[in-house]
Structure 1
Amino acid sequence: MIAKYLLPLVAITAPAIAQQSDLALVQRHLRGVQTMTAGFAQTDRTGKTLTGTLTLKRPGKIRFQYGQGVPILVVADGKSLWFIDYSVRQVSRWPIGGSPLAVLLDPNADIAKFAQIIPSSDPRIVLALVRDPKRPQFGAITLAFARDALSPGGLRMQGWVALDAQNNRTTVHLSDQRFNAPVADSAFKWRDPRQAGPRG
């Protein structure tokens, strides 16, 4: 008889417990990744796809090196996130904390405060929606992970979908992920098209 009355409670609490467990895995993965290199395919809201190489070093550093013939670069140097368009010699800058990518760059971020696990049709995939309701201007990012016992925290980052404040969607798929190999700080220097010499 006791089991009869406990079953509805189990049915209600089990999904919540599973969400908490998966969110803890995501936190463990992010804190366990000091560096990552990967290939990426980036698709914007118009359906245009660009490919290249991603290099990440925490805290605060990331580089999207696009393929040959693409005259743009996105790089965070530990202080700022830069968008460089060499074709028109234009440079734009944002504070790292003002980008959805901040969750990837800050190893001390407690994502439990502003993240939630969302349903996935594949039990092997974990999806985490990250957004700060107090700062909607920062947009939102949905991180996708595959369960993988050999990767940090038992998860392997597969990519993400980022939405900016204007609801523009950018999807990034990762491949050939490699974690925690040495990465030099010089990987995050860049040539300023407005002047001679690298920045970093």
Structure 2
Amino acid sequence: MTLALATPALVAAAPQQNDLAQVQTHLQAVSSMTASFSQTDRAGKTLNGTMTLKRPGKIRFQYEKGVPQLIVADGSSLYFIDYQVRQVERWPIGNSPLAVLLNPKRDITQFAKLVPTGDSRVISVEVRDPKHPEYGRITMIFQRSAGSPGGLMLQGWVALDSQNNRTTIRLSDQRFNAAIADGTFRWNDPRRSSGPRR
């Protein structure tokens, strides 16, 4: 009797654990990634560009021509650079929702939960640090893909910062585990007259 009552819960829990484990496997199998991205902010404004990821700790969002902004993580810090007003904002990588993508050693199964999608081919995972709600949260969308690392393809994510600013990223033309030079993550500091940052 007890076993019969417990069985449905066990059956429901097993796929969740398996899906989270698969996401963890995918993230650990990705050493680098490039993709085209489409970014939509809470006002509905959309910008396009190219994303380059190299783990651990490096990512670059290069916006389309004419957009004077750049987002770069160099291994320790995440920078938002606005060349139009010559300003630079900096955060420790660990304080950003993107940390889950940048740290291959992070065990997401400890602080992630599955979000129902209604489609068995799609896995949606919300990640947030309950000890640090100010870091915001990120909901990543994966599609099952036999030819991709860990059998999953990252389709994009929705990031919500501590001020409830929502940013949606959609990816296309994803490519994994090609060699990427560290120089890709250098950037020109608009607060200086010339020359790349460090």
Q: Compute the TM-score of the two structures, normalised by the length of structure 1.
A: 0.95
Verify: 1:40 aligned to 2:37, yes or no: yes
Aligned residues: 197
Using the aligned pairs only, state the percent identity. Answer: 63
- What amino acid is the match of 2:140? L
Stretch of structure 1 that moved more, 15-24 or 116-125:
116-125
Task: Provide Cα deviations, 1:32-80, integer angstroms capped at 9, x if missing partner.
Answer: 0000000000000000000000000000000000001000000001111
Stretch of structure 1 that moved more, 10-19 or 76-85:
10-19
* Structure 2 unaligned blocks of 5 or more: none
Map of 1:86 onto structure 2: 83
Map of 1:141 onto structure 2: 138
Equivalent in 95, 109, 120 of residue 117 of structure 2: 120
- What amino acid is the match of 1:73? L
Equivalent in 120, 128, 131 of residue 128 of structure 2: 131
Query: Quick one: distance in 2 between partners of 1:21 and 1:46?
Result: 36
Equivalent in 107, 110, 120 of residue 110 of structure 1: 107
The DSSP-based 3-state class of the residue aligned with 2:157 is strand
Which aligned pairs between 1:15-34 and structure 2 lie closer than 5 A? Answer: 15-34=12-31
Map of 2:66 onto structure 1: 69
How well do the aligned residues superpose, as a CA RMSD in angstroms? Answer: 1.2
Task: Provide Cα deviations, 1:115-141, integer angstroms capped at 9, x if missing partner.
Answer: 111211111000111001110000000
Following superposition, the deviation at residue 7 of structure 1 comes to: 5.0
Verify: 1:49 aligned to 2:46, yes or no: yes
The DSSP-based 3-state class of the residue aligned with 1:13 is helix
Query: Quick one: distance in 1 between partners of 2:27 and 2:75?
Result: 17
Equivalent in 173, 176, 184 of residue 173 of structure 2: 176
Moved over 4 A (4+): 5-8
- What amino acid is the match of 2:15? A
* Structure 1 unaligned blocks of 5 or more: none
